[in-house]
């Protein structure tokens, strides 16, 4: 792993910057940030990325991936954040797709991978349940075999964007004997199937990201099962390592910190610049140094993946430290907003709304980031077991 870009990498960086300037327009950005147009605008953005060949950049080449190096992935993610552009909605391309191309049948790969890449299928994730959140192995949604179908009964909760989804990938219990991790299967379920009810959950930031999904006598073809019956826990663990790696939020933190530094250099309501306060400078510097350290850990993990490895315990480290840093950055962001009385000057990349409302919403919803994707308490247990042998 090296820290300086080659001429080829610098050319790639300029290509990414040019694409962002030409395609991620202010109009598209405004629609992605508005709840009424979010779904359609997100699909439009993913199709633009797919037309460029970048939407599924982490996939194997034979399935439409880019064969990018770890450095190219880093450049792309950094430039995406610098442009204020979102990555693809992760449930399809980054979460279910690796399970599909690793464990799915050829028929399932042909059926689901192309429309997932082109955003013609919007996925949601059916893992957590009212009684099985961080203790995912305690899930109780039942799948009873009935000939060539399963009959599904149960409830999933905290299901992100289920209100938009065409399909849900779901962990269900197909056997109650043995250890809790045994007897779990991985199913793909069409959200239009009779018996599925989606109920909204309005989160603390006043937004509708989350949902409860109820299954009542839902009939699902056995052909929609990924891999072997009762082996879903194995596939779920593989998915979670990729999900947790994606939760590090390094590029997000760097982008917010850049805007914080700009705003802190502007006089607030009191006429004082926060950047002139030594305590604030020390706080900002501490967070920036921790983000830099996490960035190099992420680069090391990406380099290992390039060499044929897979994210293991390191994904828990990235998730643990990354989400703590996201909360620290969001707290600092809101504190800066307070210095302007919640009415912030315009920033170059339009991160801030005039009333500072986005800073508030990001802070409020950010309280959940140390919980979703496997709580940070669970991540500490994983690190203790696999890194420290405790």
Active-site amino acid positions: 243
What is the Cβ-side half-sphere exposure of residue 281, based on CA atoms within 13 angstroms?
Answer: 6
The residue whose two tokens read 């959950």 is 201
On whether the CB atoms of residues 215 and 255 are closer than 8 A, the answer is no
* Residue entry with tokens 């306060």: 277
Any long-range contacts for 294-298 (C-beta under 8 Å, 24+ apart)? 294/248, 294/250, 294/318, 294/321, 294/322, 294/325, 295/250, 295/254, 297/321, 298/74, 298/245, 298/248, 298/250
CB atoms within 10 A of CB 35: 9
Q: Which two tokens mark 152?
A: 């599904």
> Dihedral of the CA atoms 91, 92, 97, 99 (nearest 10)?
30
Q: Beta strands of 191-291 (E only): which ranges?
A: 196-201, 210-221, 225-226
Contact of 59 with 67, CB cutoff 8 Å: no
Q: Give dist(CA 158, CA 153) in Å, integer.
A: 17
Place of tokens 């430290």: 321
CA 202 to centroid of chain Cα atoms = 19
**Nearest one of 23, 26, 24 to 346, comparing CA atoms:** 26
């Amino acid at each position: 792993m090296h820290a300086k870009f080659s001429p080829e990498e610098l050319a790639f960086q300029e290509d990414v910057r040019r694409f962002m300037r030409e395609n991620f327009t202010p109009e598209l950005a405004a629609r992605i940030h508005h709840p009424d147009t979010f779904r359609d605008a997100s699909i439009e953005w993913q199709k633009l990325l797919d037309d460029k060949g970048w939407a599924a950049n982490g996939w194997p080449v034979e399935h439409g991936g880019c064969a990018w190096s770890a450095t190219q992935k880093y450049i792309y993610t950094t430039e995406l954040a610098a442009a204020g552009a979102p990555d693809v909605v992760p449930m399809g391309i980054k979460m279910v797709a690796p399970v599909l191309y690793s464990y799915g049948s050829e028929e399932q790969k042909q059926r689901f991978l192309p429309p997932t890449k082109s955003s013609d299928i919007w996925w949601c994730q059916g893992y957590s349940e009212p009684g099985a959140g961080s203790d995912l192995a305690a899930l109780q949604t039942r799948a009873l075999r009935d000939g060539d179908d399963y009959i599904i009964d149960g409830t999933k909760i905290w299901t992100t964007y289920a209100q938009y989804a065409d399909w849900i990938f779901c962990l269900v219990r197909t056997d109650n004997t043995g250890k809790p991790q045994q007897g779990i299967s991985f199913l793909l379920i069409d959200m239009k199937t009779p018996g599925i009810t989606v109920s909204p959950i309005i989160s603390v930031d006043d937004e509708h990201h989350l949902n409860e999904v109820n299954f009542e006598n839902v009939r699902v073809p056995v052909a929609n099962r990924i891999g072997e019956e009762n082996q879903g826990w194995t596939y779920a663990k593989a998915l979670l390592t990729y999900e947790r790696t994606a939760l590090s939020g390094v590029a997000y933190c760097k982008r917010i910190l850049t805007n914080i530094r700009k705003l802190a250099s502007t006089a607030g309501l009191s006429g004082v610049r926060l950047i002139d306060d030594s305590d604030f400078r020390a706080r900002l510097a501490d967070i920036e140094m921790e983000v830099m350290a996490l960035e190099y850990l992420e680069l090391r993990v990406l380099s290992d993946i390039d060499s044929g490895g897979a994210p293991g315990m390191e994904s828990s480290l990235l998730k643990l430290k990354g989400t703590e840093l996201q909360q620290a950055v969001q707290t600092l962001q809101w504190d800066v907003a307070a210095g302007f009385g919640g009415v912030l000057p315009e920033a170059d990349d339009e991160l801030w709304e005039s009333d500072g409302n986005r800073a508030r919403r990001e802070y409020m919803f950010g309280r959940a980031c140390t919980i979703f994707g496997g709580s940070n308490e669970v991540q500490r247990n994983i690190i203790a077991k696999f890194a420290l042998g405790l």
